[in-house]
Amino acid sequence: MPGRDFWKIYGPLIVVALIGFIWALSVMDPAPPRSIRFAAGSPGGAYHAYAQRYERLLEEQGIEVELVDTAGSIDNLRLLEAGEVDVAIVQGGLATQEDAAILRSAGGIFEEPFWVFVRADNPAESFGDLREARLSIGVEGSGTRALAQTLQQQYGGVWPETARQALGSTDSQAALFAGEIDAAAFAAAPGAAYIQALMQSDEVRLLPFDRAGALARREEALSAVTLIRGVVDVGADVPSQDVPLVAAIAQLTVHGDIHPAIEALLLDTAVLIHSEPSVFSEGGEFPNMSDIDLPVSKQVARYYQDGPSFLRQYFPFGVANFLDRAWVLLIPLLTLAIPLIRVAPPIYRWRVRRKIYVWYKDLRELEAQGRALPAGEARAGVGKQLEKLQIEVGKLDVPLSYTDDLYRLRSHVEFVKQLLLSGAPVTGVTM
């Protein structure tokens, strides 16, 4: 059958191409992992809420996310350094030179103001007035505590233990409402539940940082921001006046060994989550590469310059990632395929024609037998063999494009038969 001939010729070539393709797949960049670990901060905090949004969106793309509860930014950094998590949100200004050697930033993702709430009856007018107060500045390992201690240094060195109480965010909120402490500090996004509750309460008030600009100049990781009057609640006029604050920029931070495809997917997700407007920024300002204190990969820099890749714009993550890695196979596959494609047609033609030409050997032998016998009855046996040969040749199945070769053979068989049976001298067959 012609189809059988096709597969006999092209089948091995296809197998060779598949083997080459499989080999190329084995040496190209490895596929990204299907799961990652995300340091999420403490439950109830802004970091944890954002981490849950990352979890939901990444799982829609087929990436399983394991959230790891932590005390905060310092804890997140330590886990990243140890390779125990892959991704974390980290408060700007906390990374060290050692961190920069093994960690990467995927960009700043939101402002993280330093909020200081005091009891409504407390006379403090500035952060420095709280030196002798009962002040909670966050638990060990939290970004709040690290930033609070930095600011305490700016306002007069090491403060008393009573002004460095280690309470978590929700515990600080409860203690402040209960009157067990005079003030509490938080480094958190405006959307954090405890920040919203404190802003709406008449029992406490937000302490302004009138020297926010000066602090931002002295501390590279800080910037001066303003909480605009009424932005929290226009109807209730909360806050009742503009409040100057200092803020760090929270960064999406990854381990340096993270797979590039996961890093790109994190950036896509960050855009979905953090490009929304906030009380301090307009929509589209985040994520960005401003005010970050860790290096970025070439891929991240290219993303912020050019946006997501062409493939990511039009294909799901899994397909886009495969195509992005598989393009490197094109050159070796073409190198293999071109000679195979060029050599296959001649081999196919030779094989089909060989099915026809092989019968000429039998035809020559029968012709030689006939010539060796005298004319007449002696050659009748050879004639019967030629008739059988004609029948066998007639059973050959070849493509239509080779029918002329088949009929030429059949005419030659008939020609030899007529020569032998006619008694005329036989001089051979011309092919």
Please tell me whether the overall predicted TM-score, pTM, comes out greater than 0.85 for this model.
Answer: no
Do the beta carbons of residue 106 and residue 251 sit within 8 Å?
yes
- Which H/E stretch holds residue 161? none
The pLDDT of residue 430 is above 50: no
Least confident of 51-60, 177-186, 255-264: 255-264
Of the candidates 410, 402, 397, 412, which has an alpha carbon nearest to the alpha carbon of residue 353? 402
Which helix (H) or strand (E) covers residue 190, if one does? none
**307-312 — which CB contacts under 8 Å span 24+ positions?**
308/264, 308/267, 308/268, 309/264, 312/264, 312/268
Domain parsing of the chain, residue ranges: 35-308, 352-422
Among candidates 60, 61, 113, 64, which has minimal Cα distance to 87?
A: 64
Q: Which residue has the tokens 């990204």?
A: 32
Q: What is the 3-state secondary structure (H, E, C) of 239-290?
A: CCCCEEEEEEEEEEEEECCCCHHHHHHHHHHHHHHHCCCCCCCCCCCCCECC
Asked if pLDDT for residue 389 goes beyond 90, the answer is no
407 contact partners, CB below 8 Å, separation of at least 6: none
The residue to which tokens 């960049």 are assigned: 29
pLDDT digits (tens, 9 = 90+) for 45-101: 889 999 999 999 999 988 999 999 998 899 999 999 999 999 999 999 899 999 999
pLDDT of residue 203: 96
Query: Distance between CA 113 and CA 197 in Å, rounded?
Result: 16
Which position has the token pair 């700043």? 108
Strands 35-41 and 87-91, bridge-based pairing: parallel
Q: How far is the C-alpha of 420 from the C-alpha of 155, rounded, in Å?
A: 123
Tell me which fold the domain 35-308 belongs to: D-Maltodextrin-Binding Protein; domain 2 (3.40.190)
Q: pLDDT tens-digit profile of 203-255?
A: 999 999 999 999 999 988 889 999 999 999 999 999 999 999 999 999 999 99
Taking the mean position of all CA atoms in its chain, how far away is CA 192? Answer: 29
CATH number of 352-422: 1.20.58
Record the tokens describing residue 133, joined without a space. Answer: 């107060």
pLDDT above 90 for 345: no
